[in-house]
């Protein structure tokens, strides 16, 4: 069973639709820690404000996710779902992230190299420095395009699986063991996005 | 590198894609789901479905059409036309849209922008602006509503700024002067709006050639450009168009 966590941050229809299209039989949209604990895989989608992730703490989903990923359940965070894997975000400093990856998510700078930088970052941008050992990005080459829409971004670290350039480099995909995240929307990123979701669905628990 | 987007627009009435020739003769151009998929496969970066059904009965048909179109569409998908409340928007999102486009209803009640945005995120709200300026300065362009029939007395640049302040994620700017002429986008107007706001601006109206797209991306500072009439019957392949635009020095998603 794949648990898609619903924390009332936007629209889950597209993610669920894409997972089912790729052959996932048992997709459960849930707010229940019990579902998260018994899931074979966990997906945390999300568009919108980082503050919405406070509901994960309030519903005791944070603890459930922590326990599940410690047991090896593959986890995929999408967009704000990736940002939540870090310590937090300046978008809502009082809301704590999972802290699985070090660092804070920050807003795009207003200018970059002397030029005004538009924000949000919306549209198709390319993946760079794709890590060869990434299981999530297996078969994805540097230069392939994916669809983004966001104003905050995660920093580059040793766990970065792919970077994207916009006002400098940021983490487009992050991966350590069974815990993964993508800043882009794989469910809206045509063939490349479907490849990423398919890779995730084909992961065995460890 | 962030690429400029080329967006295919489908005008839908009563569940069918229609084409107006010279804005009068409406011709059936096919099934929306099928055409949307052909555009996506052909390299369009995004699909917009505009419902031009005016009747109440048409709304149910629209949701069915959106559902069918969205079911296997894995590029961003926007739906516009007749969305007057957050409830209308929620129904369209439930049916599978990623973004909604609102126009007259946002002018009538600007709070609607924030209401939709607070539930579905700012990225899901496109404010569409129909603009007319004749030969006047682009900063004096006026907002029209009700399918371009009613002037509002509001200035386009100011309304775009207000829409941004109220939480719009993108602006879809249609030049009524250029629309349907196939003589190129209104680059001056697009630039005036693009420089006034931080959010992306989608240019619309006037597409006739690849050079027109390159112009509106470069001179007009557009982030995306939308076209309906350039994709005439059977023309659903954006690749050749995108290759030409890329050759003119604009970053495009290629191959796709």
CA-based radius of gyration for chain A:
16
Closest CA to A102 of A62, A49, A156: A156
Mean pLDDT in residue range B34-55: 90
Residue-range domain boundaries for chain B: 5-247
Q: Where are the alpha helices (DSSP H) in chain B?
A: 32-41, 57-70, 86-94, 104-108, 111-120, 156-165, 187-196, 210-218, 239-247
Q: Chain A partners of B45 at a C-beta cutoff of 8 Å?
A: 123-124
A-contacting residues of B 94-153, CB under 8 Å?
A: 94-96, 98, 119-124
Q: Chain B partners of A189 at a C-beta cutoff of 8 Å?
A: 74-75
For residue A29, what is the enclosing H or E element? strand A27-30
B63 in A contact zone (CB under 8 Å): no
State the Cα angle at B80 between B180 and A195, rounded to 5°. 105
The residue among B224 and B15 whose pLDDT is bigger is B224
What local confidence, expressed as pLDDT, does residue A206 receive? 44
Q: Write phi, then psi, for B65 (nearest 5 degrees).
A: -65, -45
What local confidence, expressed as pLDDT, does residue A78 receive? 97
The verdict on a CB contact (< 8 Å) between B71 and A17 is yes
For residue B17, what is the enclosing H or E element? strand B16-21
What local confidence, expressed as pLDDT, does residue B54 receive? 60
Q: What is the pLDDT of residues B145-195, one digit of tens each?
A: 988 889 999 999 999 999 999 999 999 999 999 988 889 999 999 999 999
What's the length of chain B?
Answer: 256
Mean pLDDT in residue range B5-21: 86
Q: Cα distance from A195 to chain B (closest Cα, Å)?
A: 12
B14 confidence band (pLDDT: 50, 70, 90): confident
Residue B232 has pLDDT above 80, yes or no: no
The CATH T-level fold of domain B5-247 is TIM Barrel (3.20.20)
Pairing of strands A104-107, A152-153: antiparallel
Nearest CA in chain B to A186: B74
B183 in A contact zone (CB under 8 Å): no
Q: Cα distance from B253 to chain A (closest Cα, Å)?
A: 7
Closest CA to A98 of A59, A123, A66, A75: A66
Q: Which residues lie below 8 Å from residue B180, measured CB to CB, with a gap of 6+?
A: B20, B22, B23, B205, B206, B229
Given a contact cutoff of 8 angstroms between Cβ atoms, the answer to whether B26 and B61 are in contact is no
Residue B108 has pLDDT above 50, yes or no: yes
What angle, rounded to 10 degrees, do the helices at B86-94 and B57-70 form?
A: 40
Q: Which residues lie below 8 Å from residue B219, measured CB to CB, with a gap of 6+?
A: B187, B191
Q: How far is CA B103 from CA A3, B128, B171, B188, B222, in A?
A: 37, 5, 10, 22, 19
What local confidence, expressed as pLDDT, does residue B255 receive? 75
The verdict on a CB contact (< 8 Å) between A125 and B3 is yes
The CA distance from A75 to A177, in Å, is 10
ipTM of the complex: 0.94
Q: What is the pTM of this model?
A: 0.95
B22 confidence band (pLDDT: 50, 70, 90): very low
Mean pLDDT in residue range B90-117: 95
Q: Where are the alpha helices (DSSP H) in B28-110?
A: 32-41, 57-70, 86-94, 104-108
Residues of B carrying an active site annotation? 11, 130
B57 confidence band (pLDDT: 50, 70, 90): low
Q: What is the pLDDT of residues B132-144, one digit of tens each?
A: 999 999 999 999 9
Q: Where are the alpha helices (DSSP H) in A24-73?
A: 33-38, 54-58, 61-70
Residue B60 has pLDDT above 80, yes or no: no
The CA distance from B139 to B157, in Å, is 6
Residue B84 per-residue DSSP state: -
The residue among A46 and B25 whose pLDDT is bigger is A46
Q: From first to last of its 206 residues, what are the pLDDT tens digits of chain A?
A: 999 999 877 778 899 999 999 999 999 999 999 999 999 999 999 877 899 899 999 999 999 999 999 999 999 999 999 999 999 999 999 999 999 999 999 999 999 999 989 889 999 999 999 999 999 999 999 999 999 999 999 999 999 999 999 999 999 999 999 999 999 999 999 999 999 999 999 997 54
Q: Which domains occur in chain A, in start order? A: 2-202 (3.40.50.880)
What local confidence, expressed as pLDDT, does residue A205 receive? 53
């Amino acid at each position: 069973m794949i648990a898609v966590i619903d924390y009332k941050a936007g629209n889950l229809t597209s993610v669920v639709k894409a997972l089912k299209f790729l052959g996932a039989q048992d997709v459960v949209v849930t707010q229940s820690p019990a579902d998260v604990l018994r899931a074979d895989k966990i997906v945390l989608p999300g568009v919108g404000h980082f503050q919405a992730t406070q509901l994960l703490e309030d519903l005791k989903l944070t603890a459930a996710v922590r326990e599940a990923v410690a047991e090896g359940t593959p986890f995929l965070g999408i967009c704000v779902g990736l940002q939540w894997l870090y310590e937090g975000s300046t978008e809502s400093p009082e809301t704590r992230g999972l802290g699985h990856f070090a660092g804070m998510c920050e807003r795009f700078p207003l200018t970059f190299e002397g030029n005004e930088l538009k924000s949000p970052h919306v549209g198709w941008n390319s993946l760079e420095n794709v890590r060869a050992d990434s299981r999530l990005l297996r078969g994805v080459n540097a230069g392939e395009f994916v669809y983004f829409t966001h104003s905050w971004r995660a920093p580059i670290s040793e766990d970065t699986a792919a970077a994207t350039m916009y006002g400098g480099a940021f983490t487009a995909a992050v991966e350590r063991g069974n815990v993964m995240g993508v800043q882009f929307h794989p469910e809206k990123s045509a063939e490349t996005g479907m490849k990423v979701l398919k890779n995730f669905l084909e992961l065995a628990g460890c | 590198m962030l690429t400029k987007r080329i967006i295919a627009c489908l005008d839908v009435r009563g569940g069918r894609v229609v084409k107006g020739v010279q804005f009068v003769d409406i011709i059936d151009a096919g099934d929306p789901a099928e055409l949307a998929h052909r555009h996506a496969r052909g390299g369009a970066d995004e699909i917009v479905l505009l419902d031009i059904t005016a009747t109440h009965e048409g709304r149910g048909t629209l949701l069915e059409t959106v559902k069918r179109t969205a079911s296997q569409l894995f590029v961003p998908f926007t739906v516009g036309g007749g969305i007057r409340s957050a409830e209308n928007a929620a129904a369209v999102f439930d049916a599978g849209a990623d973004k909604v486009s609102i126009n007259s209803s946002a002018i009538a009640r600007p709070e609607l922008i924030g209401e939709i945005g607070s539930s579905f995120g700012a990225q899901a709200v496109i404010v569409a602006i129909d603009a007319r300026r004749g030969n006047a300065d682009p900063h004096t362009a006026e907002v029209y509503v009700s399918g371009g029939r009613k002037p509002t007395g509001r200035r386009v640049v100011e309304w775009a700024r207000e829409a941004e302040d109220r939480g719009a994620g993108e602006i879809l700017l249609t030049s009524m002067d250029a629309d349907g002429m196939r003589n190129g986008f209104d680059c001056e107007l697009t630039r005036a709006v693009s420089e006034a706001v931080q959010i992306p601006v989608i240019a619309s109206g006037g597409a006739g050639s690849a050079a027109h797209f390159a112009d509106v991306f470069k001179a007009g500072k557009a982030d995306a450009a939308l076209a309906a009439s350039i994709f005439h019957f059977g023309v659903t392949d954006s690749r050749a168009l995108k290759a030409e635009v890329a050759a003119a020095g604009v970053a495009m998603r290629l191959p796709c």
